[in-house]
C-alpha cells in the first residue's frame, strides 16, 4: 500500500528529529502488530481493552512528553505528534492515547504539585491509570461557563456533585480531571479543576457508553458524581478559581492535536484512494485514467500539502512556545474541515465499495465527522479567531 506518511512526498520538517522519526516507526509497528488485529473487536465492544493500554505503556507510548523523573519518555509535543500520526496512518483512531498523553497528563505536569506529579504521572505512563477530562455537561458544551458540577469544601475534602457527558475514555478512565465550580457565584473565576481517582472513591458512577456514528472503539461516556469525596489535595493549582485560565492555557495544544489526527487521516485517505483507483476498472480503463479522477486527486493532494505545511509550521511554533490561541483554532477548524472534505471526495472515488464498512474509507468517513464538533466546535474556533481581528 502507498505509505500515508510519504504520500505527499514532502521533505521532513526540522522538528522530526531522528528520535521523533524512530518513535513514529516504533509506534506504527506496535499499532500494526498489537492493536490493528483486535480493532474490529474493539469497535464491536465499543471499547479498547485495558490490556492494550498496558501494552502501550510497556512499549513506551504513554506519556511520551512527560519528564523521565515522572515515568515519561522525556519528549516534547513532536513525540506526541509522532504517536498520534501513527494512530491516524494505521487507522485505529478510537484508541484514546492522544487525549491521555497530550491533554490529561499535561494538566498534571503543568499545574500539579510535586506530590501529585509523583503520585499520578508514573502510573499514567504504565497504563495503570487511564486519563480523561470531564468538561462537558448535558447543559454546558460550547459554553463552559455554564458548568454546574459543584465541588464544595468540607474540612480537608471536596464533595463533588454533578454529571458529565460525551467523555472520551469514560468507561476505562480511572483518573479524571473534572471541571467543577468551587464558587458558583464567581462564574468563570469560580471554576476549578479537581482530579478524581475513581478507584478510590464512593459515589462515582459511569453512565452509558454512548452509541455514536463513528469512533466506535472509543468508550465515550456519561459520568455521574454523587457526593464524591476527594481530598482537597486533589485540586490542580495552588488555589481555587484557576480552572478557566488553566483550560484556556491548555486548549491550544488540544486543538493542535485534533489537527494532527486530521492531517494524518487525510494522508491515509489519499494513499488508500490512489491505490484503489489504480486497480479498479470501468469502461475498459482504470479509474485513475479518467481525467476527473486525476483532477480530484490533484486537488486533494494540493490541499493536503497546504494543510500539512501549515500543520508543520504550527508544531514548530508550539515547540518554540509561540502558538497563539487564534492560530491553534485555525489549525483545528481548517484541518478538520479539510479532513472531512478529503474523506468525502475519496469515498466517492470508491463508488459503492466506499459505502461498505469493510473498506477502511467508510470508517474514515464515520470517524472524521466528530472532528469538527469536539475540542470546541468549528464555529467556536471562528469566534476565537475573530477575536484576533
Ligand atoms: C465523540 C465525542 C467525544 C468528546 N470527548 C469529550 C471529552 O473527552 N471531554 C469533554 O469534556 N467533552 C467531550 N466532548 C464534548 C464536545 O467537546 C462538545 O460536544 C462540544 O464542545 C460541543 O458542545 P455541545 O455538544 O453541547 O454543543 P452545543 O454547545 O449545544 O452547540 C450546538 C451548535 O451550536 C453552535 N454554537 C454554540 N454556541 C455558538 C456561538 N456562540 N456561536 C455560533 N454557534 C454556536 C455549535 O457550534 C453547534 O453547531 C466530546 C464530544 C464527542 C461527540
CA atoms within 13 A on the CB side of 222: 10
Residue 69 pLDDT more than 90?
A: yes
Beta strands in the chain (DSSP E): 131-134, 150-154, 157-167, 175-181, 191-197, 204-209, 221-231, 281-282, 285-286
- What's the average model confidence in pLDDT over 196-206? 95
Give distance in angstroms: CA of 372 to centre of ligand 1.
Answer: 9
Specify the DSSP element, H or E, that contains 294: helix 291-319
pLDDT of 292: 98
- What's the average model confidence in pLDDT over 61-67? 98
Per-residue pLDDT of 324-377, as tens digits, reads: 999 999 999 999 999 999 999 999 999 999 999 999 999 999 999 999 999 999
Give distance in angstroms: CA of 166 to centre of ligand 1.
Answer: 9
CA-closest candidate to residue 95, choices 119, 127, 65: 127
Q: Which of 80, 137, 240, 254 is catalytic?
A: 254
Cβ atoms of 246 and 135 within 8 Å: the answer is no
- What's the average model confidence in pLDDT over 196-221? 97
Question: In the structure, which protein residues have their CB atom closer than 6 angstroms to any atom of ligand 1?
Answer: 132-136, 141-142, 166-168, 212, 215, 220, 370, 373-377, 379-380, 383
Report residue 304's pLDDT band, with 50, 70 and 90 as the boundaries: very high
Residue 245 pLDDT more than 90?
A: yes
- What's the average model confidence in pLDDT over 107-133? 98
Measured from the Cα of 214, ligand 1's closest atom is 1
Residue 32: burial class (beta carbons within 10 Å; 0-12, 13-18, 19+): middle
- What's the average model confidence in pLDDT over 93-113? 97
Report residue 1's pLDDT band, with 50, 70 and 90 as the boundaries: confident
The residue contributing the CA closest to ligand 1 atom 7 is 167
Give phi and psi for 157, each to the nearest 5. -130, 155
Distance CA 68, CA 324 (A): 28
Per-residue pLDDT of 257-285, as tens digits, reads: 999 999 999 999 999 999 999 999 999 99
Measured from the Cα of 134, ligand 1's closest atom is 11
Give distance in angstroms: CA of 363 to centre of ligand 1.
Answer: 22
Give phi and psi for 220, each to the nearest 5. -65, 125
Average pLDDT, the chain: 97
Residue 200 pLDDT more than 90?
A: no
Cβ atoms of 46 and 219 within 8 Å: the answer is yes
Beta strands in 257-343 (DSSP E): 281-282, 285-286
Report residue 252's pLDDT band, with 50, 70 and 90 as the boundaries: very high
pLDDT of 110: 97
pLDDT of 350: 98
- What's the average model confidence in pLDDT over 236-244? 97
- What's the average model confidence in pLDDT over 216-244? 97
Active site residue 254: yes
pLDDT of 339: 98
Residue whose grid cell is 472534505: 341
Pocket of ligand 1, candidates 47, 96, 107, 166: which has the most ligand atoms within 8 Å of its Cβ, to mutate? 166
380 Cβ neighbours under 8 A, 6+ residues apart: 142
Per-residue pLDDT of 129-171, as tens digits, reads: 999 999 999 999 999 999 999 999 999 999 999 999 999 999 9
Amino acid at each position: 500500500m502507498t505509505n500515508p506518511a510519504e504520500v505527499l512526498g514532502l521533505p521532513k520538517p526540522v522538528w522530526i528529529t531522528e528520535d521523533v522519526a524512530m518513535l513514529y516507526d516504533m509506534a506504527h509497528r506496535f499499532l500494526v502488530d498489537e492493536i490493528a488485529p483486535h480493532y474490529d473487536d474493539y469497535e464491536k465492544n465499543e471499547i479498547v481493552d485495558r490490556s492494550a493500554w498496558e501494552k502501550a505503556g510497556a512499549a513506551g507510548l504513554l506519556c511520551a512528553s512527560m519528564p523521565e523523573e515522572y515515568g515519561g519518555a522525556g519528549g516534547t509535543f513532536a513525540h506526541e505528534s509522532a504517536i498520534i500520526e501513527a494512530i491516524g496512518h494505521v487507522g485505529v483512531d478510537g484508541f484514546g492515547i492522544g487525549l491521555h498523553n497530550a491533554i490529561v497528563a499535561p494538566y498534571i505536569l503543568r499545574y500539579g504539585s510535586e506530590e501529585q506529579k509523583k503520585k499520578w504521572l508514573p502510573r499514567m505512563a504504565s497504563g495503570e491509570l487511564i486519563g480523561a477530562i470531564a468538561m462537558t455537561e448535558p447543559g454546558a458544551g460550547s459554553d463552559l461557563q455554564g458548568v454546574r458540577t459543584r465541588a464544595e469544601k468540607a474540612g480537608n475534602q471536596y464533595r463533588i456533585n454533578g454529571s458529565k457527558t460525551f467523555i472520551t475514555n469514560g468507561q476505562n478512565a480511572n483518573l479524571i480531571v473534572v471541571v467543577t465550580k468551587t464558587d458558583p457565584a464567581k462564574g468563570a473565576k469560580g471554576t476549578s479543576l479537581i482530579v478524581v481517582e475513581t478507584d478510590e472513591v464512593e459515589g462515582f458512577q459511569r453512565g452509558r457508553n454512548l452509541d455514536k456514528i463513528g469512533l466506535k472503539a472509543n468508550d465515550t461516556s456519561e459520568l455521574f458524581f454523587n457526593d464524591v469525596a476527594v481530598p482537597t489535595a486533589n485540586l490542580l493549582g495552588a488555589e481555587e478559581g484557576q480552572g478557566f485560565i488553566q483550560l484556556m492555557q491548555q486548549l491550544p495544544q488540544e486543538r493542535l492535536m485534533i489537527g494532527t489526527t486530521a492531517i494524518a487521516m487525510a494522508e491515509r485517505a489519499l494513499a488508500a484512494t490512489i491505490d484503489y483507483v489504480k486497480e479498479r476498472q470501468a469502461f475498459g480503463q482504470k479509474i485513475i485514467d479518467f481525467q476527473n479522477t486525476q483532477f480530484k486527486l490533484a486537488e486533494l493532494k494540493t490541499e493536503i500539502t497546504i494543510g500539512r505545511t501549515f500543520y508543520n509550521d504550527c508544531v514548530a511554533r508550539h515547540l518554540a512556545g509561540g502558538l497563539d490561541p487564534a492560530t491553534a483554532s485555525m489549525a483545528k477548524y481548517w484541518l478538520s474541515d479539510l479532513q472531512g472534505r478529503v474523506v468525502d471526495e475519496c469515498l466517492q472515488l470508491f463508488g459503492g465499495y466506499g459505502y461498505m464498512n469493510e473498506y477502511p474509507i467508510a470508517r474514515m468517513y464515520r470517524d472524521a465527522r466528530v472532528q469538527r464538533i469536539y475540542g470546541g466546535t468549528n464555529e467556536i474556533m471562528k469566534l476565537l479567531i475573530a477575536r484576533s481581528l
